[in-house]
Structure 1
Amino acid sequence: MDIRHFKTFKSIIEEGNFSNAAARLGYTQSTITSQIQQLEQELSIKLFEKIGRNMVLTSLGKEMIPYANELLNTVKKIESIGKVGDKITGELKIAVAESLMSYKLQNVLSLFKEKAPNVNLSMISLNCYAIKNMLASGSVDLGLMYDVRSQNDSLCAVKLSDFNVALVCSPQFEQKKLDFVEPNQKINTSLIINEVESVYRKILESYFFDKNILLNNTIELGSIEAIKKCVASNLGISFLPRFTVEEELNNGKLKELQVASLDAKITAIYAYHKNKWISPAISLFIELVREDFNIS
Protein backbone atom coordinates (compact mmCIF):
# COMPACT_ATOMS: atom_id res chain seq x y z
CA MET A 1 0.00 0.00 0.00
CA ASP A 2 1.15 3.52 -0.79
CA ILE A 3 1.20 5.88 2.21
CA ARG A 4 0.39 8.75 -0.16
CA HIS A 5 -3.02 7.22 -0.80
CA PHE A 6 -3.85 7.40 2.92
CA LYS A 7 -2.63 11.01 3.02
CA THR A 8 -4.93 11.74 0.08
CA PHE A 9 -7.83 10.02 1.84
CA LYS A 10 -7.26 12.15 4.97
CA SER A 11 -6.96 15.34 2.92
CA ILE A 12 -10.33 14.66 1.27
CA ILE A 13 -11.91 14.22 4.71
CA GLU A 14 -10.36 17.47 6.01
CA GLU A 15 -11.03 19.53 2.88
CA GLY A 16 -14.55 18.23 2.29
CA ASN A 17 -14.21 17.18 -1.35
CA PHE A 18 -11.86 15.83 -4.02
CA SER A 19 -11.18 19.15 -5.76
CA ASN A 20 -10.11 20.99 -2.59
CA ALA A 21 -7.89 18.06 -1.61
CA ALA A 22 -6.28 18.14 -5.07
CA ALA A 23 -5.53 21.86 -4.70
CA ARG A 24 -4.06 21.33 -1.24
CA LEU A 25 -1.82 18.45 -2.32
CA GLY A 26 -0.85 19.92 -5.69
CA TYR A 27 -2.44 17.09 -7.68
CA THR A 28 -4.97 17.08 -10.48
CA GLN A 29 -8.44 15.87 -9.52
CA SER A 30 -8.00 12.85 -11.77
CA THR A 31 -4.88 11.89 -9.78
CA ILE A 32 -6.85 12.13 -6.53
CA THR A 33 -9.61 9.95 -8.00
CA SER A 34 -7.07 7.42 -9.26
CA GLN A 35 -5.34 7.19 -5.87
CA ILE A 36 -8.62 6.57 -4.05
CA GLN A 37 -9.61 3.93 -6.61
CA GLN A 38 -6.26 2.15 -6.10
CA LEU A 39 -6.70 2.31 -2.32
CA GLU A 40 -10.21 0.87 -2.60
CA GLN A 41 -8.91 -1.98 -4.77
CA GLU A 42 -6.12 -2.78 -2.31
CA LEU A 43 -8.51 -2.74 0.65
CA SER A 44 -11.37 -4.44 -1.25
CA ILE A 45 -13.85 -1.91 0.12
CA LYS A 46 -15.70 1.13 -1.20
CA LEU A 47 -14.60 4.33 0.57
CA PHE A 48 -16.72 6.84 -1.35
CA GLU A 49 -19.95 6.70 -3.33
CA LYS A 50 -21.51 9.24 -5.66
CA ILE A 51 -24.72 10.82 -4.34
CA GLY A 52 -26.01 13.32 -6.87
CA ARG A 53 -22.99 15.36 -7.87
CA ASN A 54 -21.11 14.74 -4.64
CA MET A 55 -18.76 11.99 -3.51
CA VAL A 56 -19.64 11.05 0.08
CA LEU A 57 -18.11 8.62 2.56
CA THR A 58 -19.56 5.15 2.79
CA SER A 59 -20.07 3.56 6.21
CA LEU A 60 -16.83 1.61 5.71
CA GLY A 61 -15.11 4.84 4.69
CA LYS A 62 -16.14 6.39 8.00
CA GLU A 63 -14.77 3.36 9.84
CA MET A 64 -11.48 3.84 8.00
CA ILE A 65 -10.85 7.38 9.36
CA PRO A 66 -9.36 6.47 12.79
CA TYR A 67 -7.21 3.74 11.23
CA ALA A 68 -5.86 6.15 8.62
CA ASN A 69 -5.13 8.71 11.35
CA GLU A 70 -3.33 6.08 13.42
CA LEU A 71 -1.27 4.94 10.43
CA LEU A 72 -0.24 8.48 9.49
CA ASN A 73 0.64 9.25 13.11
CA THR A 74 2.92 6.20 13.11
CA VAL A 75 4.54 7.44 9.91
CA LYS A 76 5.17 10.80 11.61
CA LYS A 77 6.86 9.00 14.52
CA ILE A 78 9.14 7.09 12.16
CA GLU A 79 10.03 10.24 10.22
CA SER A 80 10.91 12.10 13.43
CA ILE A 81 13.21 9.48 14.95
CA GLY A 82 16.47 11.10 15.98
CA LYS A 83 15.37 14.61 15.00
CA VAL A 84 15.86 17.05 17.88
CA GLY A 85 16.49 20.75 18.42
CA ASP A 86 16.86 22.74 15.22
CA LYS A 87 16.59 19.48 13.26
CA ILE A 88 12.88 19.13 14.01
CA THR A 89 10.95 18.72 10.79
CA GLY A 90 7.51 17.62 9.67
CA GLU A 91 4.13 19.32 9.94
CA LEU A 92 2.30 20.90 12.85
CA LYS A 93 -1.38 21.82 12.53
CA ILE A 94 -2.83 24.07 15.21
CA ALA A 95 -6.34 25.49 15.67
CA VAL A 96 -6.59 28.64 17.79
CA ALA A 97 -9.34 30.89 19.10
CA GLU A 98 -9.10 34.23 17.28
CA SER A 99 -8.52 36.36 20.38
CA LEU A 100 -5.64 34.12 21.51
CA MET A 101 -4.20 34.05 18.00
CA SER A 102 -4.26 37.84 17.66
CA TYR A 103 -3.21 38.94 21.13
CA LYS A 104 -1.43 36.14 23.02
CA LEU A 105 0.66 33.99 20.68
CA GLN A 106 3.03 36.37 18.88
CA ASN A 107 5.96 35.67 21.21
CA VAL A 108 5.34 31.90 21.07
CA LEU A 109 5.20 31.88 17.27
CA SER A 110 8.36 33.94 16.98
CA LEU A 111 10.30 31.61 19.27
CA PHE A 112 8.92 28.49 17.56
CA LYS A 113 10.04 29.77 14.16
CA GLU A 114 13.47 30.47 15.61
CA LYS A 115 13.84 27.06 17.29
CA ALA A 116 12.17 24.90 14.61
CA PRO A 117 12.57 26.66 11.25
CA ASN A 118 12.14 23.42 9.30
CA VAL A 119 8.66 22.62 10.63
CA ASN A 120 5.78 23.31 8.28
CA LEU A 121 3.46 25.13 10.70
CA SER A 122 -0.15 25.72 9.66
CA MET A 123 -2.67 27.53 11.85
CA ILE A 124 -6.40 28.10 11.58
CA SER A 125 -8.60 30.45 13.61
CA LEU A 126 -11.94 28.92 14.66
CA ASN A 127 -14.50 29.06 17.42
CA CYS A 128 -13.82 26.81 20.39
CA TYR A 129 -16.55 24.27 19.61
CA ALA A 130 -15.18 23.75 16.09
CA ILE A 131 -11.67 23.35 17.52
CA LYS A 132 -12.89 20.61 19.87
CA ASN A 133 -14.48 18.77 16.95
CA MET A 134 -11.30 19.02 14.87
CA LEU A 135 -9.20 17.72 17.77
CA ALA A 136 -11.60 14.81 18.31
CA SER A 137 -11.44 13.87 14.61
CA GLY A 138 -7.65 14.19 14.42
CA SER A 139 -7.82 17.01 11.85
CA VAL A 140 -5.42 19.17 13.88
CA ASP A 141 -2.58 18.29 16.24
CA LEU A 142 -3.13 20.90 18.92
CA GLY A 143 -5.84 23.36 19.95
CA LEU A 144 -5.56 26.59 21.94
CA MET A 145 -8.99 27.77 22.97
CA TYR A 146 -11.34 28.49 25.85
CA ASP A 147 -12.91 25.83 28.02
CA VAL A 148 -16.48 25.33 26.77
CA ARG A 149 -17.43 23.18 29.78
CA SER A 150 -18.49 20.21 27.68
CA GLN A 151 -16.68 16.99 28.48
CA ASN A 152 -14.93 15.00 25.78
CA ASP A 153 -13.21 11.86 27.01
CA SER A 154 -11.05 11.66 23.89
CA LEU A 155 -9.22 14.92 24.66
CA CYS A 156 -6.51 15.91 27.11
CA ALA A 157 -6.85 19.56 28.21
CA VAL A 158 -4.50 21.72 30.31
CA LYS A 159 -5.48 25.06 31.84
CA LEU A 160 -3.38 28.07 30.85
CA SER A 161 -5.08 31.07 32.46
CA ASP A 162 -8.34 32.72 33.46
CA PHE A 163 -9.24 35.98 31.70
CA ASN A 164 -11.79 38.66 32.55
CA VAL A 165 -14.41 39.66 29.98
CA ALA A 166 -15.43 43.30 29.59
CA LEU A 167 -18.66 44.93 28.41
CA VAL A 168 -17.42 47.90 26.36
CA CYS A 169 -18.89 50.88 24.57
CA SER A 170 -17.87 54.14 22.91
CA PRO A 171 -17.04 57.14 25.14
CA GLN A 172 -20.03 58.82 23.43
CA PHE A 173 -22.40 56.07 24.59
CA GLU A 174 -25.13 57.51 26.84
CA GLN A 175 -24.49 55.14 29.72
CA LYS A 176 -26.34 57.23 32.33
CA LYS A 177 -29.64 56.75 30.49
CA LEU A 178 -29.27 52.98 30.34
CA ASP A 179 -29.25 50.21 32.92
CA PHE A 180 -27.94 46.72 32.18
CA VAL A 181 -28.99 45.41 35.60
CA GLU A 182 -32.73 46.11 35.80
CA PRO A 183 -34.69 43.14 34.37
CA ASN A 184 -37.51 43.16 31.81
CA GLN A 185 -36.46 45.99 29.52
CA LYS A 186 -35.50 46.76 25.94
CA ILE A 187 -32.31 48.78 25.45
CA ASN A 188 -31.91 50.98 22.41
CA THR A 189 -28.54 49.77 21.18
CA SER A 190 -26.94 46.94 19.18
CA LEU A 191 -24.75 44.07 20.29
CA ILE A 192 -21.64 43.86 18.08
CA ILE A 193 -20.08 40.45 18.63
CA ASN A 194 -18.57 37.31 17.14
CA GLU A 195 -20.56 34.40 15.75
CA VAL A 196 -23.15 32.47 17.76
CA GLU A 197 -20.65 29.84 18.94
CA SER A 198 -18.41 32.44 20.63
CA VAL A 199 -17.85 31.45 24.28
CA TYR A 200 -18.10 34.98 25.66
CA ARG A 201 -21.11 35.80 23.47
CA LYS A 202 -22.90 32.84 25.04
CA ILE A 203 -22.12 34.22 28.52
CA LEU A 204 -23.59 37.64 27.72
CA GLU A 205 -26.65 36.27 25.93
CA SER A 206 -27.33 33.96 28.87
CA TYR A 207 -27.13 36.97 31.20
CA PHE A 208 -29.53 38.99 29.03
CA PHE A 209 -31.89 36.02 28.78
CA ASP A 210 -32.01 35.57 32.55
CA LYS A 211 -32.68 39.29 33.00
CA ASN A 212 -35.11 39.43 30.07
CA ILE A 213 -33.10 42.29 28.58
CA LEU A 214 -33.53 42.84 24.84
CA LEU A 215 -31.33 44.90 22.52
CA ASN A 216 -32.33 46.32 19.14
CA ASN A 217 -30.35 43.80 17.14
CA THR A 218 -27.11 41.82 16.90
CA ILE A 219 -24.33 42.61 14.43
CA GLU A 220 -22.08 39.59 13.82
CA LEU A 221 -18.49 40.28 12.74
CA GLY A 222 -15.67 37.78 12.33
CA SER A 223 -12.85 40.06 13.47
CA ILE A 224 -12.28 41.47 16.95
CA GLU A 225 -10.50 44.47 15.41
CA ALA A 226 -13.59 45.20 13.29
CA ILE A 227 -15.82 44.82 16.34
CA LYS A 228 -13.72 47.29 18.34
CA LYS A 229 -13.78 49.88 15.55
CA CYS A 230 -17.56 49.65 15.25
CA VAL A 231 -17.99 50.00 19.01
CA ALA A 232 -15.58 52.96 19.09
CA SER A 233 -17.76 54.57 16.39
CA ASN A 234 -20.75 54.24 18.78
CA LEU A 235 -22.60 51.70 16.65
CA GLY A 236 -23.30 49.49 19.68
CA ILE A 237 -21.73 47.64 22.60
CA SER A 238 -19.64 44.49 22.78
CA PHE A 239 -18.48 41.84 25.25
CA LEU A 240 -14.87 40.79 24.71
CA PRO A 241 -11.90 39.31 26.58
CA ARG A 242 -10.51 42.27 28.49
CA PHE A 243 -6.97 41.78 27.19
CA THR A 244 -8.23 42.43 23.64
CA VAL A 245 -9.52 45.91 24.57
CA GLU A 246 -6.89 46.91 27.15
CA GLU A 247 -5.14 49.34 24.84
CA GLU A 248 -8.38 51.06 23.78
CA LEU A 249 -9.56 51.35 27.39
CA ASN A 250 -6.24 52.94 28.35
CA ASN A 251 -6.19 55.45 25.49
CA GLY A 252 -9.87 56.37 25.84
CA LYS A 253 -11.14 54.99 22.54
CA LEU A 254 -13.41 52.58 24.44
CA LYS A 255 -15.08 52.69 27.83
CA GLU A 256 -16.01 49.78 30.09
CA LEU A 257 -19.61 49.47 31.24
CA GLN A 258 -19.57 48.50 34.91
CA VAL A 259 -22.15 45.77 35.61
CA ALA A 260 -21.46 44.20 38.98
CA SER A 261 -23.68 41.18 38.39
CA LEU A 262 -21.84 40.42 35.12
CA ASP A 263 -18.44 39.47 36.53
CA ALA A 264 -17.47 36.82 33.97
CA LYS A 265 -14.26 34.93 33.32
CA ILE A 266 -13.16 32.58 30.55
CA THR A 267 -10.49 29.91 30.88
CA ALA A 268 -7.83 29.48 28.21
CA ILE A 269 -6.59 25.91 27.66
CA TYR A 270 -4.51 23.88 25.26
CA ALA A 271 -5.77 20.46 24.23
CA TYR A 272 -4.91 17.46 22.10
CA HIS A 273 -6.35 14.03 21.38
CA LYS A 274 -5.42 11.52 24.08
CA ASN A 275 -4.20 9.10 21.40
CA LYS A 276 -2.16 11.76 19.62
CA TRP A 277 1.54 11.03 19.43
CA ILE A 278 3.32 14.06 20.89
CA SER A 279 5.88 14.69 18.18
CA PRO A 280 8.99 16.83 18.81
CA ALA A 281 7.24 19.73 17.05
CA ILE A 282 4.10 19.45 19.23
CA SER A 283 6.24 19.05 22.35
CA LEU A 284 8.26 22.18 21.56
CA PHE A 285 5.17 24.27 20.85
CA ILE A 286 3.52 23.16 24.10
CA GLU A 287 6.73 23.93 25.99
CA LEU A 288 6.83 27.47 24.57
CA VAL A 289 3.14 28.04 25.32
CA ARG A 290 3.57 26.86 28.92
CA GLU A 291 6.60 29.12 29.39
CA ASP A 292 4.74 32.12 27.95
CA PHE A 293 1.77 31.56 30.27
CA ASN A 294 4.09 30.82 33.24
CA ILE A 295 2.87 27.25 33.66
CA SER A 296 5.40 25.14 35.56
Structure 2
Amino acid sequence: ISQAAQLLDYAQSTVTAQIQALETSVGQPLLYRTGKRITALTPAGETLLPLAQRAARLAVDMQTSFDREAQPSGTLVIGASETVLTYQLPALLVAYGKHHPQVRLVIRPFRYEALLDQVRYGNIDLAFLFEQPLRSSKIETTCLRQAEMILVAAPTHPLAALPTVNPQDLEDVTILFTEHGCGYRPLLEQVCLEAGIRPMTNLEFNSSEAIKQCVIAGLGITLLPHIAVATELQAGQLAMLPWSGTPMPIYTQAAWRHDHTASPLVQSMLALSKTMLEDGTC
Protein backbone atom coordinates (compact mmCIF):
# COMPACT_ATOMS: atom_id res chain seq x y z
CA ILE A 1 0.00 0.00 0.00
CA SER A 2 2.79 2.42 0.90
CA GLN A 3 4.58 1.77 -2.39
CA ALA A 4 1.37 2.34 -4.36
CA ALA A 5 0.72 5.57 -2.47
CA GLN A 6 4.25 6.79 -3.19
CA LEU A 7 3.92 5.94 -6.89
CA LEU A 8 0.58 7.75 -7.16
CA ASP A 9 1.68 10.61 -4.92
CA TYR A 10 -1.29 9.96 -2.63
CA ALA A 11 -1.51 9.62 1.14
CA GLN A 12 -1.38 5.98 2.21
CA SER A 13 -4.73 6.32 3.95
CA THR A 14 -6.30 7.49 0.67
CA VAL A 15 -5.15 4.37 -1.17
CA THR A 16 -6.39 2.14 1.65
CA ALA A 17 -9.77 3.86 1.59
CA GLN A 18 -10.03 3.45 -2.20
CA ILE A 19 -9.31 -0.29 -1.96
CA GLN A 20 -11.86 -0.72 0.80
CA ALA A 21 -14.45 1.18 -1.25
CA LEU A 22 -13.72 -1.06 -4.26
CA GLU A 23 -14.12 -4.19 -2.12
CA THR A 24 -17.44 -2.86 -0.83
CA SER A 25 -18.54 -2.17 -4.40
CA VAL A 26 -17.80 -5.71 -5.68
CA GLY A 27 -18.99 -7.29 -2.41
CA GLN A 28 -15.87 -9.43 -1.92
CA PRO A 29 -12.37 -9.00 -0.52
CA LEU A 30 -9.75 -8.43 -3.18
CA LEU A 31 -6.61 -8.94 -1.10
CA TYR A 32 -5.38 -11.57 1.34
CA ARG A 33 -4.06 -9.83 4.45
CA THR A 34 -1.85 -11.14 7.25
CA GLY A 35 -1.89 -8.52 9.92
CA LYS A 36 -1.04 -5.28 8.15
CA ARG A 37 0.66 -7.03 5.26
CA ILE A 38 -0.91 -7.89 1.90
CA THR A 39 0.19 -11.34 0.80
CA ALA A 40 -1.74 -11.98 -2.45
CA LEU A 41 -4.80 -11.29 -4.53
CA THR A 42 -7.99 -13.19 -3.78
CA PRO A 43 -9.76 -14.95 -6.68
CA ALA A 44 -11.99 -11.87 -6.98
CA GLY A 45 -8.85 -9.73 -7.07
CA GLU A 46 -7.33 -11.93 -9.79
CA THR A 47 -10.52 -11.53 -11.86
CA LEU A 48 -10.67 -7.77 -11.35
CA LEU A 49 -6.99 -7.01 -12.09
CA PRO A 50 -7.01 -7.46 -15.91
CA LEU A 51 -10.34 -5.62 -16.11
CA ALA A 52 -8.87 -2.71 -14.16
CA GLN A 53 -5.78 -2.66 -16.36
CA ARG A 54 -8.00 -2.62 -19.45
CA ALA A 55 -10.05 0.23 -18.00
CA ALA A 56 -6.86 2.20 -17.32
CA ARG A 57 -5.71 1.73 -20.92
CA LEU A 58 -9.11 2.83 -22.22
CA ALA A 59 -8.94 5.96 -20.07
CA VAL A 60 -5.53 6.81 -21.54
CA ASP A 61 -6.79 6.14 -25.08
CA MET A 62 -9.83 8.33 -24.48
CA GLN A 63 -7.71 11.23 -23.27
CA THR A 64 -5.30 10.80 -26.19
CA SER A 65 -8.22 10.91 -28.64
CA PHE A 66 -9.54 14.12 -27.13
CA ASP A 67 -6.06 15.64 -27.14
CA ARG A 68 -5.69 14.73 -30.81
CA GLU A 69 -9.06 16.24 -31.67
CA ALA A 70 -8.14 19.41 -29.80
CA GLN A 71 -5.26 19.93 -32.22
CA PRO A 72 -6.15 21.86 -35.40
CA SER A 73 -6.70 19.66 -38.43
CA GLY A 74 -7.94 20.18 -41.98
CA THR A 75 -6.77 22.43 -44.81
CA LEU A 76 -5.55 26.00 -44.39
CA VAL A 77 -5.29 28.05 -47.60
CA ILE A 78 -2.77 30.88 -47.36
CA GLY A 79 -2.23 33.65 -49.87
CA ALA A 80 0.83 35.87 -49.91
CA SER A 81 2.55 38.53 -51.93
CA GLU A 82 5.84 37.65 -53.58
CA THR A 83 8.12 39.36 -51.08
CA VAL A 84 6.46 37.89 -47.99
CA LEU A 85 6.25 34.44 -49.56
CA THR A 86 9.91 34.49 -50.57
CA TYR A 87 11.56 36.01 -47.51
CA GLN A 88 9.30 35.49 -44.48
CA LEU A 89 6.89 32.60 -44.93
CA PRO A 90 9.32 29.67 -45.45
CA ALA A 91 10.52 29.58 -41.83
CA LEU A 92 6.97 30.14 -40.58
CA LEU A 93 5.58 27.29 -42.69
CA VAL A 94 8.26 24.87 -41.50
CA ALA A 95 7.57 25.74 -37.85
CA TYR A 96 3.80 25.46 -38.32
CA GLY A 97 4.13 22.06 -39.95
CA LYS A 98 6.11 20.79 -36.95
CA HIS A 99 3.56 22.18 -34.48
CA HIS A 100 0.48 21.07 -36.42
CA PRO A 101 1.29 18.03 -38.58
CA GLN A 102 -2.41 17.26 -39.09
CA VAL A 103 -2.99 20.50 -41.00
CA ARG A 104 -2.59 20.52 -44.79
CA LEU A 105 -1.20 23.84 -46.00
CA VAL A 106 -2.03 25.21 -49.44
CA ILE A 107 0.05 28.24 -50.45
CA ARG A 108 -1.09 30.52 -53.25
CA PRO A 109 0.93 33.53 -54.47
CA PHE A 110 -1.08 36.55 -55.60
CA ARG A 111 -0.34 40.03 -56.82
CA TYR A 112 -1.04 42.73 -54.31
CA GLU A 113 -4.24 44.02 -55.87
CA ALA A 114 -5.76 40.52 -56.01
CA LEU A 115 -4.77 39.34 -52.56
CA LEU A 116 -7.42 41.12 -50.50
CA ASP A 117 -10.11 40.29 -53.04
CA GLN A 118 -9.27 36.61 -52.58
CA VAL A 119 -9.78 37.05 -48.84
CA ARG A 120 -13.11 38.86 -49.34
CA TYR A 121 -14.39 36.15 -51.68
CA GLY A 122 -13.36 33.42 -49.25
CA ASN A 123 -10.94 31.78 -51.69
CA ILE A 124 -8.14 31.95 -49.14
CA ASP A 125 -8.36 31.69 -45.36
CA LEU A 126 -5.44 33.94 -44.46
CA ALA A 127 -3.31 36.44 -46.36
CA PHE A 128 0.16 37.79 -45.59
CA LEU A 129 1.27 40.99 -47.28
CA PHE A 130 3.40 44.13 -47.08
CA GLU A 131 1.04 47.06 -46.78
CA GLN A 132 0.27 50.25 -44.93
CA PRO A 133 -2.23 49.65 -42.09
CA LEU A 134 -5.45 48.33 -43.61
CA ARG A 135 -9.04 49.07 -42.64
CA SER A 136 -12.00 47.19 -44.07
CA SER A 137 -15.54 46.43 -42.97
CA LYS A 138 -15.30 42.81 -44.15
CA ILE A 139 -11.69 41.96 -43.35
CA GLU A 140 -9.85 41.63 -40.05
CA THR A 141 -6.19 42.62 -40.10
CA THR A 142 -3.29 42.73 -37.72
CA CYS A 143 0.15 44.32 -38.09
CA LEU A 144 2.77 41.71 -37.28
CA ARG A 145 5.99 43.64 -37.82
CA GLN A 146 7.23 46.90 -39.27
CA ALA A 147 9.42 46.31 -42.30
CA GLU A 148 12.46 48.46 -42.95
CA MET A 149 12.15 50.04 -46.40
CA ILE A 150 15.38 51.24 -48.01
CA LEU A 151 16.51 52.85 -51.23
CA VAL A 152 19.19 50.80 -52.98
CA ALA A 153 21.44 51.30 -56.00
CA ALA A 154 24.48 49.72 -57.58
CA PRO A 155 27.63 50.61 -55.60
CA THR A 156 28.86 52.58 -58.63
CA HIS A 157 25.71 54.70 -58.87
CA PRO A 158 26.37 58.45 -58.28
CA LEU A 159 23.87 58.59 -55.38
CA ALA A 160 25.80 55.87 -53.55
CA ALA A 161 28.71 58.29 -53.13
CA LEU A 162 26.64 61.00 -51.41
CA PRO A 163 26.79 61.40 -47.60
CA THR A 164 22.99 61.81 -47.55
CA VAL A 165 20.25 61.46 -50.13
CA ASN A 166 17.21 63.74 -49.98
CA PRO A 167 14.13 63.91 -52.23
CA GLN A 168 15.65 66.62 -54.47
CA ASP A 169 18.51 64.25 -55.30
CA LEU A 170 16.00 62.00 -57.07
CA GLU A 171 15.39 64.59 -59.80
CA ASP A 172 16.25 63.12 -63.20
CA VAL A 173 17.14 59.76 -61.63
CA THR A 174 15.89 56.50 -63.13
CA ILE A 175 13.64 54.82 -60.57
CA LEU A 176 12.53 51.23 -60.91
CA PHE A 177 9.03 50.80 -59.47
CA THR A 178 7.13 47.72 -58.43
CA GLU A 179 3.78 47.15 -60.13
CA HIS A 180 0.71 49.27 -59.45
CA GLY A 181 -1.13 47.95 -56.43
CA CYS A 182 2.08 46.99 -54.61
CA GLY A 183 1.79 48.09 -50.99
CA TYR A 184 5.02 50.07 -50.88
CA ARG A 185 5.08 51.65 -54.34
CA PRO A 186 2.93 54.65 -53.19
CA LEU A 187 5.51 55.48 -50.52
CA LEU A 188 8.14 56.55 -53.04
CA GLU A 189 5.58 58.05 -55.41
CA GLN A 190 4.32 60.26 -52.58
CA VAL A 191 7.86 61.41 -51.77
CA CYS A 192 8.40 62.45 -55.40
CA LEU A 193 5.00 64.15 -55.55
CA GLU A 194 5.51 66.15 -52.36
CA ALA A 195 8.99 67.25 -53.47
CA GLY A 196 7.64 68.31 -56.86
CA ILE A 197 10.10 66.15 -58.75
CA ARG A 198 9.71 63.78 -61.64
CA PRO A 199 12.07 60.86 -62.16
CA MET A 200 13.85 60.91 -65.51
CA THR A 201 12.47 57.46 -66.28
CA ASN A 202 10.24 55.21 -64.28
CA LEU A 203 10.27 51.53 -65.13
CA GLU A 204 7.68 49.13 -63.74
CA PHE A 205 8.25 45.48 -62.80
CA ASN A 206 5.99 42.83 -61.29
CA SER A 207 8.91 41.01 -59.65
CA SER A 208 11.21 42.27 -56.93
CA GLU A 209 13.84 39.78 -58.08
CA ALA A 210 13.82 41.30 -61.58
CA ILE A 211 14.10 44.77 -60.07
CA LYS A 212 17.13 43.75 -58.00
CA GLN A 213 18.98 42.35 -60.99
CA CYS A 214 18.32 45.51 -63.02
CA VAL A 215 19.51 47.72 -60.16
CA ILE A 216 22.63 45.60 -59.75
CA ALA A 217 23.27 46.06 -63.47
CA GLY A 218 23.14 49.85 -62.99
CA LEU A 219 19.77 50.57 -64.57
CA GLY A 220 18.57 52.78 -61.72
CA ILE A 221 17.54 52.86 -58.05
CA THR A 222 14.59 51.30 -56.25
CA LEU A 223 12.75 51.05 -52.94
CA LEU A 224 12.53 47.57 -51.43
CA PRO A 225 12.19 45.95 -47.99
CA HIS A 226 15.56 45.37 -46.35
CA ILE A 227 14.88 41.62 -46.07
CA ALA A 228 14.56 41.42 -49.85
CA VAL A 229 18.06 42.82 -50.47
CA ALA A 230 19.98 41.74 -47.35
CA THR A 231 21.99 39.10 -49.22
CA GLU A 232 22.94 41.47 -52.05
CA LEU A 233 23.92 44.21 -49.59
CA GLN A 234 26.18 41.83 -47.70
CA ALA A 235 27.74 40.63 -50.95
CA GLY A 236 28.44 44.20 -52.07
CA GLN A 237 26.20 43.90 -55.13
CA LEU A 238 23.92 46.67 -53.87
CA ALA A 239 24.45 49.78 -51.76
CA MET A 240 21.91 51.23 -49.32
CA LEU A 241 21.42 54.93 -50.01
CA PRO A 242 21.64 57.18 -46.91
CA TRP A 243 18.07 58.49 -47.15
CA SER A 244 17.40 61.71 -45.19
CA GLY A 245 13.84 62.29 -46.36
CA THR A 246 10.55 61.31 -44.76
CA PRO A 247 10.54 57.75 -43.35
CA MET A 248 8.60 55.29 -45.44
CA PRO A 249 7.16 52.68 -43.04
CA ILE A 250 5.42 49.54 -44.22
CA TYR A 251 4.13 46.55 -42.26
CA THR A 252 3.95 42.81 -42.60
CA GLN A 253 0.26 42.17 -42.04
CA ALA A 254 -2.14 39.28 -41.84
CA ALA A 255 -5.67 39.57 -43.19
CA TRP A 256 -8.68 37.28 -42.92
CA ARG A 257 -12.46 37.45 -43.26
CA HIS A 258 -14.57 38.38 -40.24
CA ASP A 259 -16.35 35.03 -40.38
CA HIS A 260 -13.04 33.14 -40.26
CA THR A 261 -11.96 34.72 -36.97
CA ALA A 262 -13.09 31.75 -34.89
CA SER A 263 -11.37 29.19 -37.15
CA PRO A 264 -8.87 27.13 -35.12
CA LEU A 265 -6.66 26.91 -38.21
CA VAL A 266 -6.57 30.68 -38.67
CA GLN A 267 -6.02 31.30 -34.97
CA SER A 268 -3.20 28.76 -34.70
CA MET A 269 -1.37 30.27 -37.70
CA LEU A 270 -1.90 33.82 -36.40
CA ALA A 271 -0.55 32.90 -32.97
CA LEU A 272 2.63 31.38 -34.42
CA SER A 273 3.15 34.17 -36.97
CA LYS A 274 2.84 36.82 -34.25
CA THR A 275 5.46 35.04 -32.16
CA MET A 276 7.93 34.45 -34.99
CA LEU A 277 7.55 37.80 -36.79
CA GLU A 278 7.55 39.91 -33.65
CA ASP A 279 10.73 38.33 -32.32
CA GLY A 280 12.42 38.32 -35.75
CA THR A 281 12.57 34.53 -36.14
CA CYS A 282 11.35 34.90 -39.73
Alignment TM-score, normalising by the size of structure 2: 0.66
Report what 1:191 is aligned to.
175
SS of the residue corresponding to residue 292 of structure 1 reads: helix
SS of the residue corresponding to residue 216 of structure 1 reads: coil
Confirm or deny: 8 A CA contact 1:94 1:141 kept in the other structure: yes
Deviation at 1:179, TM superposition (A): 6.3
Report what 2:79 is aligned to.
95
Deviation at 1:165, TM superposition (A): 0.7
Report what 1:164 is aligned to.
148
| Alignment RMSD | 2.6
| Structure 1 residues 246 and 165, CA gap change in structure 2 (3 angstroms) | same
| Aligned positions of 1:52-67 closer than 5 A | none
Letter in 2 for 1:108: L
Confirm or deny: 8 A CA contact 2:261 2:267 kept in the other structure: no
| Structure 1 residues 108 and 257, CA gap change in structure 2 (3 angstroms) | same
Which whole-Å CA distance do the structure 2 matches of 1:127 and 1:262 have between them? 27
Alignment TM-score, normalising by the size of structure 1: 0.64
Confirm or deny: 8 A CA contact 1:147 1:268 kept in the other structure: yes
Report what 2:114 is aligned to.
130
SS of the residue corresponding to residue 137 of structure 2 reads: coil
| Structure 1 residues 133 and 261, CA gap change in structure 2 (3 angstroms) | same
Report what 2:184 is aligned to.
200
Report what 1:182 is aligned to.
168
Confirm or deny: 8 A CA contact 1:129 1:148 kept in the other structure: no
Does structure 1 residue 114 correspond to structure 2 residue 98? yes
Count, aligned residues: 211
Which has the greater radius of gyration? 2
Which whole-Å CA distance do the structure 2 matches of 1:205 and 1:227 have between them? 16
SS of the residue corresponding to residue 213 of structure 1 reads: coil
Q: Provide structure 1 residue ranges, at least 5 long, that are not aligned to the other structure.
A: 1-81
Which whole-Å CA distance do the structure 2 matches of 1:133 and 1:244 have between them? 25
Which whole-Å CA distance do the structure 2 matches of 1:190 and 1:117 have between them? 48
Q: In structure 2, which of residues 103, 116, 127 is the aligned counterpart of residue 143 of structure 1?
A: 127
Q: Provide structure 2 residue ranges, at least 5 long, that are not aligned to the other structure.
A: 1-67
Confirm or deny: 8 A CA contact 2:128 2:253 kept in the other structure: yes
